[in-house]
Amino acid sequence: MTQTLEPGTPIDADTDRLAIDTIRFLAADMVQAASSGHPGMPMGAAPMAWTLWSRHLRHDPADPDWADRDRFVLSAGHGSALLYALLHLFGYDLPMSELKAFRQLGSRTPGHPEAGHTPGVETTTGPLGQGLAMAVGLALAERMTAARYPEITDHHTFAIVGDGCLMEGVSHEAASLAGHLGLGRLIVLWDDNAITIDGGTELSTSDDQLARFTSYGWHTLSVEDGTDVDAIDEALTAAKADRRPTFIAVRTVIGQGAPGVEGTSKAHGSPLGEETLAAAKARAGWRWPAFTVPEAVRAGCAALAAQSAERRTAWLDAFDLFTVGAPERAGAFRRARERALPGDLRGTLAAIADGRSRATRQSSQDCLVALSGLLPELVGGSADLAGSTGTATGGALVTRDDFTGSTIAFGVREFAMAAVLNGLALHGGFRPWGSTFLVFSDYLRPALRLAALMKQPVIYILTHDSVAVGEDGPTHQPVEHVESLRLIPGLQVLRPADEAETVDAWRLAIERTDGPTALILTRQSVPALDPVSAVRARTAAPDSEPGPLGPTRPDVEIVATGSEVALAVDVTGRLAAEGISVRTVSAMDRSSYRPDRSVPRVSIEAGVTSGWRGLVDLAIGVDEFGASGPGGAVLAHFGLTADAIVARITQLLDDPPDRSALREA
């Protein structure tokens, strides 16, 4: 047995066995008490998890935020009881009362692990495959941190993944990227139990997983007996010694030790039942009541945790030395981890806007370049659309040989990109961004949802934001996407109208530290708006009250976002020529728009209108799929011209507000 911890570690085969059974039965007890949950995975994977935690994982339960800790990701998040048992045993702030409250409202032990909710939980998992992809992000973050701060960075990322994780497409994207980048500090244990919910994996897959991961450039290993602590230990040791990411197939039995259900899908997602649980305990010679940790295990884990904590003590000393020797770098390291911003940020940004008429993706590129100069922690990349999305900043590329760069070439892998961004954010020390076309936000939506749920400040740069994309046609023209992003709780969605608003959108994105932001940007050029031509809704100037709201009691209020604000200004001018007074509102962040319900209101946005209908009397947009043709022709086809809109507004005012009917149409 490799002893990677200090000599004297109180682990012997008896303790191993007892500890593993403790984990197994704590997990099964939790599920039983909740009458809900997944006992099978913890019972089968307990030996590998125990081996990892007892012999390899470097962490300090007293400081779950220690920067240089090893990261552990339970990608098979339904096995949350396994993770909670480990956190409890090693002394994280998760008392037995919390284990007993498994899956109860308000507990720290929810059904699936939730980052930010439970001390020691690194990532929110459950949606399969994403834990693996976030682990790739965490491992990339380690390499990028080590390249910047080698004196104080030396940790690993471990993940346990299930069969389902490996079937999901995101596993391909993430593993391919990890192999390409040679993320040698990433070690993935596959809980190879050959069971999924519907039955044996032979129902649906014949993949040779080792060959598959080899094809990605990974180091691969097998452990034939998933209860063999020494074999698992040896594999982990071999993994750490290899320069490639390592994939270890560990053959396990789901629900191991539970008579009648072990090795079958029945063990997956339901409590074992009192009788089966009692039989399992009897078979294991387990003689304690439910929710018991034998003293030997308690003491052993405490000793292990204390030893592991010494690593942190040593690290703190190293960090002190580092601070003395390189105070500026140490300050930057701390600032980035605290997500604090340098004071000159607003000034730098403000200098960008000088009234140019251009695409907001181009204005965005200037912001990104300027911010990258101020914030070394601002890192990211594109899903193979760097040039098109205005994110070809000229920043050095991250490569397998050099992780000092700030730009990651994600390849055509939107979903993994977004999950890796989550990993970078969760790791700490980085402010990650990623870019693609808005229409392909659908591909990354599951990871974006997790960013919002985990309150991580990831920035998505989503361009080509309407049917104005033109010739590429309906597959590339977003219609429902802006509105569908607005539906995700906690996601800040900003669709700036011009250069000045784009700068402001970037400021809002970067100043937000507790949640993600989607920047919705045009492909086509938009004019710089005369500041008095459109009232900007509150977000444009969050530190001040909204400016004068135009005419006090106009004939009509027009609200628009993004490229349609210029159209609204044009319409406003034409209406004014007809003697109709208009208040024109630019609502980059629709959630801050406060409609003036005393006057008729019209919205203009080149997308689906359902979210506007509660705000205005007439919602002008595109409620069908787009069409291929030059952008101007497509816009005209959908009635997004000043002529067509003036006619509709005039009709609205002529045929005065039985507004109800209008709203319903």
* 460 in Cβ contact with 445 (< 8 Å): no
CA atoms within 13 A on the CB side of 16: 18
Give the list of residues 6+ apart from residue 163 with CB closer than 8 angstroms, or none: 191, 192, 193, 194, 195, 196, 201, 205
Q: Binding to a copy of itself by residue 553, rule CB under 8 A?
A: no
Q: Binding to a copy of itself by residue 628, rule CB under 8 A?
A: yes
Of 273, 490, 551, 639, the residue at the interface with a copy of itself (CB under 8 A) is 490
Q: Which stretch binds a copy of itself (CB under 8 A): 145-153, 360-368, 448-456, 579-587?
A: 448-456
In the complex, what is the shortest distance from the CB of residue 189 to a copy of itself, in angstroms, rounded to a whole number? Answer: 18
Q: Nearer to a copy of itself by C-beta: 217 or 294?
A: 217
DSSP for residue 185: T
Q: Strand 535-536 to strand 517-520: parallel, antiparallel, or no bridges (unpaired)?
A: unpaired
Look-up of token digits 């980035």: 336
Q: Quickly count: other Cβ atoms within 10 Å of residue 208's Cβ.
A: 9
Binding mask 209-228 for a copy of itself (x = CB under 8 A): x-xx-xxxx-----------
Q: Binding to a copy of itself by residue 36, rule CB under 8 A?
A: yes
Report how far residue 78's alpha carbon sits from residue 113's, in angstroms, rounded to the nearest whole number: 8
Of 168, 233, 570, 605, the residue at the interface with a copy of itself (CB under 8 A) is 168
Q: Binding to a copy of itself by residue 634, rule CB under 8 A?
A: yes
In the complex, what is the shortest distance from the CB of residue 102 to a copy of itself, in angstroms, rounded to a whole number? Answer: 9
Q: Nearer to a copy of itself by C-beta: 530 or 624?
A: 624
Of 11, 115, 177, 231, the residue at the interface with a copy of itself (CB under 8 A) is 177
Q: Binding to a copy of itself by residue 453, rule CB under 8 A?
A: yes
Count Cβ neighbours within 10 Å for each residue of 358-387 and write b for 16 or more, e otherwise. Answer: bbbbbbbbbbbbbbbebbbbbbbbbbbbbe
SS3 583: strand
SS3 250: strand
Of 15, 145, 157, 176, the residue at the interface with a copy of itself (CB under 8 A) is 176
In the complex, what is the shortest distance from the CB of residue 299 to a copy of itself, in angstroms, rounded to a whole number? Answer: 32
Tell which positions 584-623 bind a copy of itself, by CB under 8 A.
Answer: 594-595, 597, 608, 610-615, 623
> Is 98 labeled as catalytic in the residue annotation?
no
CA-CA distances (angstroms) from residue 357 to 361, 368, 443, 471, 521? 12, 18, 31, 22, 14
Q: Where are the beta strands (DSSP E) in 524-581?
A: 525-526, 535-536, 556-560
372, two tokens? 């990258």
CA angle 391, 469, 452 (to 5 degrees): 55
Q: Binding to a copy of itself by residue 164, rule CB under 8 A?
A: yes
Strand partners, 582: 556
DSSP helix, strand, coil percent of the chain (3-state; round to 5): 45, 15, 45
SS3 338: coil
Q: Which stretch binds a copy of itself (CB under 8 A): 64-72, 97-105, 184-192, 422-430?
A: 97-105
Q: Binding to a copy of itself by residue 538, rule CB under 8 A?
A: no
Q: Binding to a copy of itself by residue 413, rule CB under 8 A?
A: yes
Count the residues of the shown chain that bind a copy of itself, applying the rule CB under 8 A. 116
360, two tokens? 């907001």
In the complex, what is the shortest distance from the CB of residue 350 to a copy of itself, in angstroms, rounded to a whole number? Answer: 31
Strand partners, 603: 559, 619
Q: Quickly count: other Cβ atoms within 10 Å of residue 489's Cβ.
A: 8
DSSP for residue 382: E
Q: Binding to a copy of itself by residue 474, rule CB under 8 A?
A: yes
Q: Binding to a copy of itself by residue 195, rule CB under 8 A?
A: no
Q: Which stretch binds a copy of itself (CB under 8 A): 65-73, 134-142, 480-488, 580-588?
A: 480-488
Look-up of token digits 């994939």: 247
CA-CA distances (angstroms) from residue 488 to 445, 448, 484, 604, 614? 10, 9, 7, 22, 18
Q: Binding to a copy of itself by residue 484, rule CB under 8 A?
A: yes
Q: Binding to a copy of itself by residue 169, rule CB under 8 A?
A: yes
Report how far residue 379's alpha carbon sits from residue 386's, in angstroms, rounded to the nearest whole number: 13
Q: Binding to a copy of itself by residue 338, rule CB under 8 A?
A: no
Of 14, 150, 206, 344, the residue at the interface with a copy of itself (CB under 8 A) is 206
Binding mask 360-389 for a copy of itself (x = CB under 8 A): ----------------------x-xxxxx-
Report how far residue 617's alpha carbon sits from residue 612's, in angstroms, rounded to the nearest whole number: 9
Q: Strand 525-526 to strand 358-359: parallel, antiparallel, or no bridges (unpaired)?
A: antiparallel
Q: Which stretch binds a copy of itself (CB under 8 A): 54-62, 366-374, 473-481, 556-564?
A: 473-481
Q: Nearer to a copy of itself by C-beta: 334 or 637?
A: 637
Q: Nearer to a copy of itself by C-beta: 166 or 529?
A: 166
Binding mask 112-141 for a copy of itself (x = CB under 8 A): x-x---------xxxxxx------------
413, two tokens? 């892998």
Q: Nearer to a copy of itself by C-beta: 229 or 537?
A: 537
Q: Which of 98, 142, 262, 414 is catalytic?
A: 414
Q: Nearer to a copy of itself by C-beta: 357 or 475?
A: 475
Q: Binding to a copy of itself by residue 457, rule CB under 8 A?
A: no
Q: Residues with catalytic annotation?
A: 414
